[in-house]
Amino acid sequence: METISYTVPAMHCGHCKAAVEEELSVVEGVESVDVDLGTKLVLVRGDGLVDTELRAAIEEAGYEAT
């Protein structure tokens, strides 16, 4: 299992967190998503993760990952 982390600066509330978690959770290979609003950090764990697909899911939620 691998872990990829992203910073999502625009996240600031529970809705933001839920939107990002929801979009990422349906990406193939994703087993868990942890979002920390305090640090704006998103940790994605799974197998065969593809960076471009994960970034696209974050964008679909309305945010930009750095």
CA Rg value for the chain: 10
pLDDT, tens digit, 9 for 90 and up, residues 23-60: 999 999 999 999 999 999 999 999 999 999 999 999 99
Where are the chain's structural domains?
2-60
Which candidate, 45, 39, 42, places its Cα nearest to that of 27?
Answer: 45
25 burial level (CB within 10 Å; 0-12, 13-18, 19+) = middle
How is residue 62 written in tokens? Answer: 């309305």
Q: Cα(14)–Cα(3) distance, rounded to whole angstroms? A: 23
- pLDDT, residue 13, reads 95
CATH code for the part of the protein at 2-60: 3.30.70.100
Sign of the CA dihedral with 12 first, then 63, 18, and 5 last: negative
| pTM across the whole model | 0.94
